[in-house]
Amino acid sequence: MVKVFVAGHNGMVGSAICRQLKNNKHVSLITAERSELDLIDQREVFDFFAKNKIDQVYLAAAKVGGIHANNAYPAEFIYENLMVQGNVIHAAFLNKVKNLLFLGSSCIYPKFANQPIREDALLTGLLESSNEPYAISKIAGIKLCESYNRQYGELHGIDYRSVMPTNLYGPGDSYHTENSHVIPALLRRFHEAKEKAVETVSIWGTGTSRREFLYVDDIAAACIHVMNLDKRVYERCTSPMLSHINVGFGEDITIAELAALIAKVVGFTGDIDYDCTKPDGTPQKLIDSSKINNLGWSPTIGLKKGLEMTYKYFLKVNDYDCR
């Protein structure tokens, strides 16, 4: 029996990983509520690892949010994410955890990186300013994993890996009015506009920026796939100081096209207005997922189907509150 700790099990990605791991009879799943384990508290994290004798870790815990949240709380985004990552990765090493998977974000890449963005674009240019603190914390997470592998991998047999997902959506997301990501924000806005018979919905930016989206169950499957790859296979497609792997859908869409699709899924028939005084963010962000595709994983859920499932979940739980 493999004892697997999912850090961030209540989050969108962590809960999806847990749903899939629960189907594996060879896995003993370990989780902890925030009231039981504060991942920012080093002593609590170290004691938790020492007590539970963990074999594998999925590090999905993170402070996340959209453009507004990143602009409003930059200190919280960089501090909390750095502390969580440092505590979990170091505690894993001290307690002889051999396998760890760190979940980053495609925002680690330069704002004007060539499209689609390959893994080797990391640290080749300036980041998008609106989420730079979050991006830097995620880059640090990659480098933590690489550094522990380089210094202790051969001697202690540790194997810490990183995946960089594109923009994610699905059940378990936050629908906060200001701090959520683009899909849950638009889904809630169109839903409330339909319910109140509002004629026009206003959206930040010009609508011309392009984004790629991946359903959360697909990233969960990718994480489990990467975690369980033979080490020799993983090392053949990575290098000691460029060890992360992109995970994306393989296609992008403009924000205007996304808004129209969400409006259709929700049933909103009014007008969509674009507030050009608000930022667009990075012009395009499409990642190159050829490495993980060549390693045997590919997405299974298209955007329209994923949005329909997400909206169905939204109606079921009526989850308006930010976690």
Give the residue numbers marked as catalytic.
134
Closest by Cα among 289, 21, 19 to 165: 289
Residues 6+ apart with CB under 8 A from 48: 32, 37, 91
Residues 6+ apart with CB under 8 A from 132: 74
Output phi, psi for 240, to 5 deg: -55, -30
DSSP string across 175-228: --TTTS-HHHHHHHHHHHHHHTT-SEEEEES-S--EE-EEEHHHHHHHHHHHHT
**Axis-axis angle for helices 182-195, 303-317 (nearest 10):** 60
Contact (Cβ atoms closer than 8 angstroms) between residue 121 and residue 110: yes
- Rounded to 5°, the CA angle 70-76-82 comes to 105
Output phi, psi for 138, to 5 deg: -70, -35
d(CA 46, CA 50): 6
Q: Which secondary-structure segment (H or E) carries 163?
A: strand 159-165
